[in-house]
Amino acid sequence: MGAAGRQPMIPWLAPGDPFPPVERSLRHPNGLLAASRHLDADLLVAAYAQGIFPWFSEGDPVLWWSPDPRLVLFTDEFVARRSLVRRIRAGLNAGRYEVRVDADFEATMRACAEPRRGQEGTWITGPMLAAYAELHRRELAHSVEVFSAGRRIGGLYGVTLGRMFFGESMFSREPDASKIALAALVALLRLEEVPLLDCQQETAHLASLGARAIARARFCSHVAAAVPRPPIDWPRYRHEPVTSLLRAY
C-alpha cells in the first residue's frame, strides 16, 4: 500500500500473459486480481480452470476476479422450498413446463442481459456475449431453459470444464422460472456425479437455495481436481426436452 488513500495496483494483462496466482487477489474489493483489454474464449478457459472469472461494466477494462470466500452450491444441498416444489409439481401435472438444454444459448444470454429492476445497464457486454458464444460452440458453455406454451420464461447459462459447472447468470419472466431452471440443472448435475456448482459471489437469493461460502483455497483445489475429469455428455441432453429432471422434486 502506498500513500494514504492510494489503491493497490493490479496487473494489466497483455495478450499471452498468464494470470497471476489467485492468492494475489485484493481484499478490497474482494477478489479483484487483474485487468485486460482483451477477452476471448481461450482466455476464459484459462481463467475458469484457475478459479477466475470476468466481471466488468460496458466501457471498462475487463476485470478478472477470484474472491475469498467463494459462493458455491453443493448439489446435494440444494434447497427446494415448499412453494417451489408445489409450483414444479403443479406445472408438471398440467403439462405447463418444458425444460430444454441449449435450446438457444445466445438467446438465453441476451435474456440474462436484459435490465433488471433497480439496475442500469448490464455486465453482459457485446464482447462477453461473443466470447461465451464461442465457448458454447466448443461445447464449453451451456444453457438450461424453461418454456411455457412455447415461450421462454426462464433460464440460466454457465461454463463447464470437465466435471465442473461455473454458473454465470439466470433470468425469469415468470415467478420462480429461474429457480425451476436451476432445479433442473442441479438434477442433471447429480445424475452426472457433479458435486459442486460455482455461484461466484454471495447473494441472499442464492443463499436461500442452499448456496454457501467456502474458502477460495478449497474451491480452487476442487476445480483443479474436477476440470481434468471426462466432460459431461451435453449432446445427450440436447436432443429432446429434459422436463423429467424436475420429477426429482
Which of 21-30, 167-176, 201-210 has the lowest average pLDDT?
A: 201-210
Question: Which DSSP symbol is given to 244?
Answer: G
pLDDT score for 4: 40
**Confidence at residue 76, expressed as pLDDT on a 0 to 100 scale:** 97
- Sign, CA torsion 29/32/36/39: negative
Mind listing the pLDDT tens digit for each residue in 52-110?
A: 999 998 889 999 999 999 999 999 999 999 999 999 999 999 999 999 999 999 999 99
pLDDT of 5 strictly over 50 = no
Q: Of the ranges 17-31, 107-121, 128-142, 188-202, which one carries the lowest mean pLDDT score?
A: 107-121
**Confidence at residue 9, expressed as pLDDT on a 0 to 100 scale:** 86
Q: How confident is the model at residue 118 (pLDDT cuts 50, 70, 90)?
A: low
pLDDT band (50, 70, 90) for residue 2 = very low
Give the CATH number of domain 12-68; options: 3.40.50.2300, 3.30.70.3550, 3.30.43.10, 3.30.590.10: 3.30.70.3550
Nine cell digits for residue 53: 472469472
pLDDT for 120:
53
What letter represents residue 84's amino acid? L
pTM of the predicted structure, to 2 decimals: 0.93
What integer pLDDT is reported at residue 203 of this predicted model?
A: 87
Map residue 198 onto helix, strand or coil: strand
pLDDT in tens, 140-168: 999 999 999 999 999 999 999 999 999 99
Residue 116, pLDDT > 80, answer no
Count of CB atoms within 10 A of residue 46's CB? 12
Question: Residue 3: its pLDDT value, please?
Answer: 38
pLDDT recorded at residue 57 = 86
Amino acid 122: pLDDT: 63
> How far apart (Å, rounded) are the C-alpha atoms in residues 249 and 118?
32
Strands (E), 24-150: 32-36, 53-54, 62-65, 70-74, 97-101, 141-148
How are beta strands 12-13 and 32-36 bridged, if at all?
parallel
Q: What is the pLDDT of residue 7?
A: 58
Burial class (CB in 10 A: 0-12, 13-18, 19+), 35: middle
Q: Do 12-68 and 71-248 share a fold?
A: no
The domain spans of the chain are: 12-68, 71-248
CATH number attached to the domain at 71-248: 3.40.630.70
Q: Crossing angle of helices 41-48/126-137, nearest 10°?
A: 80
